Structure 1
Amino acid sequence: MLTQYQHIQVSVDGSKEADLAFSKAVVIAKRNGAILDILHVIDTRSFQNVSSFDSAMVEQVSNDAKKRMEEYKSRAIKAGIKDVHYSIEFGSPKTIIARDFPKKHDIDLIVVGATGLNAVERLLIGSVTEYVTRTANCDVLVCRTQEIKDALSAD
């Protein structure tokens, strides 16, 4: 049986792997006529290590994320996605990507890159992708190959 996805979430963090996942999510959303939600989570743990918490730094990170998300949205629209949205969330990427956002937005497919953290972070706190694949209540596509991105670039 071939599943028809209606509401696809792609999680992006600015990495090469996330860009690949985005490209594949666009192709899948277009093929299915699905809604595409582009999600970026700003990990609040990174601000806890700053001795003098500076709201200007948070604002700069938020502005950079918004600019990047506008670019992703524009790319999706140019590729033919009719219903595309983006969200910038603050908190734990693992729980927001795997549980909170999908539940709130009735997501039926999560698309993520195979990696994103460096090797030390994966060892200490675990991979976000691994957590998502273990705990999400919907299908999860972990992107590892370039083929669809190349096909999207040819359009």
Structure 2
Amino acid sequence: MAMLLAAATAAQAVERLDDSASPRSRVRAPVVLGEDGRPLQDSRNATRATVRFGRVDYKLSTARHAGRTARIYYVVPAAIPGLRSPSGLRVEWRGSGLFADGSAMPGERRLVWSGVVPGPWMTEGLDLTFHVDLRQLQLRPNEPFGFESYFEIEISP
């Protein structure tokens, strides 16, 4: 019984962080390369693509948790329209100082920060790159490939 109560308490301590104050709500991929390093449209019979977004700035609302010990995770959603298998995508990021570098596949969450939440906002820029196995994509005509990754905060008891 105590284990069930502890699990329920831990589950309640995790929540998605509001990032609606971030500078850009939608980010377009300016550079898409085939596995030969050339632009994807110039790569013949490409099976893999690298999508470089560059720096994406986030502003996370942490006011409710200021002064508390916490962990922040970067989350790649499990269900991505047009992607047949989670193994068809790997997201990589490099933080600009506050958050740790890392990578994740769909359905995974990775720890990017831990400590005492410093105040009502946490801002960070991530240099984002997607590695896509084009054989795992099955998009409908005129359907763009995309999804929204997000951050979760887990408060320590």
Q: How does the TM-score come out when normalised to structure 1?
A: 0.24
Q: How does the TM-score come out when normalised to structure 2?
A: 0.24
Higher strand share: 2
Higher helix share: 1
